[in-house]
Amino acid sequence: MLVGMTVIRTARERARAEVRREILDAARRQLTAEGAEALSLRAVARELGMVSSALYRYFASRDELLTALIIEAYDELGERAERAAAATADQPAGLRWVAVARAVRAWAVDHPRRYALLYGTPVVGYAAPQSTVVPGTRVQIALAGIVLTAHRSGAIDAGRLGAGEPPVGSAVAADLARLRAALAQAAPDLLTAAGPSDVLLRATLLGWTQLFGLIGFELFGQLRGLVEDGEAFLVESAATMAARAGLQTGPLPPGR
């Protein structure tokens, strides 16, 4: 008997899919409200009016439930980032970069516990399975796509990019080669023959870590009492990093 792999056939399977969704919904609610380590299978079961052991028919373990929530969150955040990039496709790259950065922060501020699950301390004894890797890179790919698009269309301000910065060392050059290969796989049409320079790739990587570092600092309380308007600070920081990568923020390089 041949059947389509994802086709729901029987009423039983329909019910199963629905219960699975309800479990995920309840788990997401608890994760949002109390944080990952307070996510309890028993509490989820209680909320759904079933007994805890019944949950194990749907998720083999708490870790598997966590994995589902992680992938879901990565995809939600990744989609926000991609939408922000797409919505600004006709704008200068610097503004696009800032738009994506704002979108990422907005999601993080809206869902701090879920963001922490993705970019905070890894849950002990939990090894992120392979299935989380691809969704986990969507934001970075979206940001890199902006840089690559700008580079492809010759919009990178070479005079500004990496001005006064140290040269790229050999160890880092090897890392950047790996990054170039990963980008070639994710967005092959954006890679030109000349390819993005090492300095540009390094600036992109610095932009990532800066963005996530700043969001983490804000969310985890490291900037308490210092930065009042997190949004404004992030916009300026992202714009600064974009400028340092040679991304233009206006139709013409301003102040020239």
Partner DNA sequence: TCTGGTGGGAGAGCAGTGCTCTTGAATGAG
Partner DNA sequence: CTCATTCAAGAGCACTGCTCTCCCACCAGA
Residues that bind a copy of itself (CB under 8 A): 34-38, 116-117, 119-125, 128, 136, 160, 162-166, 168-169, 171-172, 174-175, 178-179, 182, 202, 206, 208-214, 216-217, 220-222, 225-229, 232-233, 236-237, 239-241, 243-244, 249
The nearest distance, CB 209 to a copy of itself, in angstroms, is 4
The nearest distance, CB 69 to DNA, in angstroms, is 13
The nearest distance, CB 23 to a copy of itself, in angstroms, is 21
CA–CA distance, 82 with 187 (Å, rounded to integer): 13
Nearer CB in complex with a copy of itself: 25/236: 236
Nearer CB in complex with DNA: 17/184: 17
Which member of 8, 52, 131, 213 binds DNA (CB under 7 A)?
Answer: 52
Asked if residue 21 binds DNA (CB under 7 A), the reply is: no
Nearer CB in complex with DNA: 12/224: 12
The encoded tokens of residue 106 equal 């907005």
Q: Cα dihedral sign for 164, 182, 150, 137?
A: negative
Which member of 8, 29, 61, 236 binds DNA (CB under 7 A)?
Answer: 61
H/E run at residue 120: none
The encoded tokens of residue 239 equal 């714009």
Which member of 26, 50, 95, 182 binds DNA (CB under 7 A)?
Answer: 50
Asked if residue 33 binds DNA (CB under 7 A), the reply is: no
The nearest distance, CB 45 to DNA, in angstroms, is 8
Q: Which residues contact 207 (CB under 8 A, 6 or more apart)?
A: 97, 143, 238, 241, 242, 245
The CA-atom distances, in angstroms, between 42 and each of 49, 56, 84, 153, 212 are: 10, 11, 38, 55, 33
The DSSP line for 82-119 is HHHHHHTTTS-HHHHHHHHHHHHHHHHHHSHHHHHHHH
User: CA nearest 29: which of 21, 132, 79?
Assistant: 21
State the angle between helix axes of 112-119 and 198-219 in degrees (0 to 180), rounded to the nearest 10: 130
List contacts with DNA (CB under 7 A). 1, 9-12, 15-16, 19, 39-43, 49-54, 56-58, 60-63
